[in-house]
Every structure is written in C-alpha cells, then in structure tokens.
C-alpha cells in the first residue's frame, strides 16, 4: 500500500473476524452522485483523487446513489489505482430498470441517471444486483456487500414483506454463498436504523454494518443495545452520517439538514450548545463530529462524503486535528452519554 501522509486517516481496523481492514476515514459516494447538488464528472474524479492522495483506502457506494451514477463514477476513478491497495463496498436490495415515470426529486438526487429502482431482497435479486454492480463499476472484486435499506425506516408497513425475501426468499443465503465462494470478503447491512442490524444479527452471521447517523455527537442511543451487541459478536460498524446529514459539518450557520430533512428547532438548539463549547476550546465542530464516533472500539471506519476536493481535504484535516481532552470533558457535562468513549488527547 502507498504510504499515506495522514496517519489517523490511514490507520486500519479489521472487519469482523475476516482478513480485511479498512482505513480510519472512508469515502462515501452519495455526494458525488448528486445528493442535493449536481456536480460534474471532473469534480467527482477530483474528489476521489483527493481522497486517495490523503491516504483514504476505503470507498463505499451503492446502486441507489444517483440511480447508479455513483457506481459508474467511482469505478471509473478507481480503475487507475492498484486494486490490491483499497477496499470497496457496495450494496444490494434494489435493481435498476429504465425509468417509466418522470423523476420527482423526492429522494434528493440532482440530475440522476434515467433509471428507477425495484426493491428485491430475494436470492436471485441479490445475485443480480451484485453482478450489475460489477458491470457498472467495471471491477470484478467487491470486498464488502451490504444489504441496503432493509428496515422499517425505509419500508414502513412493507418491511415484513421484504424481510421475508431475505429469510425465506434466500437473500441471506445469497450473501453466504458469495462470501463462502470468495466472491466477496465480508457481508452485512447498510441502513439508517439500529433495529434492522439487531434483527439481522439474530438471523444471520454478518461481519459488519454501515450505520448512518445513529452514533454521533447528537445521538448515542445505540450505546444501549447495538454497540455492545456488535462488540460481543465481533461485528464491525462502518459509521456513516457523522454530520447527521449536514448540520454538524458547519453548525447552525451552515446546512440545517438533519437525517435527510430540515432540522427541527430542538436539534438546532443542541447544535448551538455543541458549537459554543467547541469555540471555548478552539475546536472546530466538524473535527469533533468526525473524531467522536471513531473512539468507539466497534467502529472500524468513519465514512465521510464530499462534493469537491476542497471539501474532502477539509474533512481530512478535521479528522486529523488534535483536540484537547478538556473539550470532551466539557461535552460530557450534559451533551454526551457518559458511557461514550472519547478520543485521547
């Protein structure tokens, strides 16, 4: 592996019990697929190149991002780099067909590709999705395969129907076949809720889970159940959404998005309190937001998104910045769960 210039970014932790390690900071690719704002192929390429130059060697994508745009862009960018020097994850649970109705913009994608999703968590559906991703990426070797958006957060009353596809319909069996054959090195979930991960662990032996937004400076309820269970079962967490969709990136003067929607007033008020403490200790809020979850031993990598090389470098600087122990002590006085591990000085 090429020697990286950022030691914390390039620090590696293992995935479950597998012979696979990911860097401390990973790149999530929803932003380069046009989440909330469109960007050019050149901007996407520059962002991925900046991640590589910073020492990031874990890249996550999904067919859902930009309706397959992220996989196309990421694969094109990564094919210039040695395949044995990075870890790649993508997701299954949807396959994409030509769009039959105009896109209404409700999912937040700007200028997505002209395809629409069909949810399918069956054995055949997962195998098809995996092969489709290989072709879009232009890469045969996918290291981690994650079941995307299973759970009540996405499917509501239809979740039991899709869960049955994973169990009786052979979806989990497909994951086991791909892992056992060596087609992928690790399998798990990519979701926005802890309940789905707990339910999956009770049903099937997963190696990891990409969890978006549920263990951040604003949310630590997963200390009650999910994180202890993951430690006990040696299931690694790939932590996405450390900025809770944006509000923790630049605070109350920035993007007031929380969990993919407009932030409620109580969240804005809590962020203002976090910012005030950070100012006292001369610590950027974004740095605290990115570093906090990585202090938990169950978290193998913190995934950050970026729309430009500049944003990427800002995130790397935030992850690398030294923060004083007094900051974490102050945050624990009413804003952090006292059980939460915090970074060392």
In terms of Cα–Cα distance, which of 100, 107, 96, 109 is closest to 136? Answer: 96
8, 58, 65, 121: which is the annotated catalytic residue?
A: 65
Distance (Å, rounded) from C-alpha 204 to C-alpha 68? Answer: 28
Q: Choose the catalytic residue: 8, 58, 86, 91.
A: 91
65 is known as an active-site residue: yes
Question: Rounded distance, CA 89 to CA 214, Å?
Answer: 20
14 alpha carbon, distance to own chain's centre: 16
Q: Per the residue annotation, which of 60, 143, 149, 207 is the catalytic one? A: 60
Is 345 a catalytic site residue? no
Active site residue 269: no
Residues labelled catalytic? 60, 65, 91
């Amino acid at each position: 592996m090429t020697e990286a210039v950022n030691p914390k970014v390039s620090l590696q932790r293992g995935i479950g019990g597998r012979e696979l390690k990911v860097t401390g900071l990973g790149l999530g690719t929803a932003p380069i697929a046009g989440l909330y704002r469109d960007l050019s192929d050149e901007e996407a390429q520059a962002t991925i190149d900046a991640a590589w130059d910073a020492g990031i060697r874990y890249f996550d994508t999904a067919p859902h991002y930009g309706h397959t745009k992220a996989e196309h862009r990421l694969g094109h960018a990564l094919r210039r780099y040695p395949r044995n020097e990075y870890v790649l994850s993508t997701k299954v649970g949807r396959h994409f067909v030509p769009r039959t109705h105009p896109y209404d913009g409700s999912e937040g994608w700007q200028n997505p590709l002209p395809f629409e999703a069909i949810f399918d968590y069956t054995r055949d559906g997962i195998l098809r999705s995996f092969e489709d991703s290989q072709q879009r990426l232009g890469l045969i070797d996918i290291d981690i395969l994650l079941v995307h958006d299973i759970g009540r957060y996405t499917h509501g009353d239809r979740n039991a129907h899709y869960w049955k596809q994973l169990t009786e319909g052979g979806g989990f069996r497909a994951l086991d076949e791909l892992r056992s054959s060596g087609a992928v090195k690790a399998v798990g979930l990519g979701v926005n809720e802890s309940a789905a991960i707990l339910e999956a662990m009770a049903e099937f032996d997963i190696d990891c889970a990409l969890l978006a937004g549920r263990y951040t400076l604003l949310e630590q309820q997963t200390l009650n159940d999910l994180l202890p269970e993951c430690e006990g079962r040696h299931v690694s967490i790939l932590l996405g959404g450390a900025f809770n969709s944006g509000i923790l990136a630049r605070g109350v003067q920035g993007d007031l998005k929380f969990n993919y929607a407009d932030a409620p007033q109580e969240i804005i008020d809590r962020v203002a309190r976090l910012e005030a403490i950070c100012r006292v200790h001369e610590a950027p809020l974004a740095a605290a937001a990115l570093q906090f979850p990585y202090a938990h031993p169950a978290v193998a990598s913190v995934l950050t998104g970026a729309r430009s090389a500049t944003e990427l470098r800002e995130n790397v600087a935030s992850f690398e910045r030294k923060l004083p122990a007094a900051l974490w002590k102050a945050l624990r006085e009413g804003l952090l769960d006292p059980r939460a591990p915090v970074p060392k000085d």
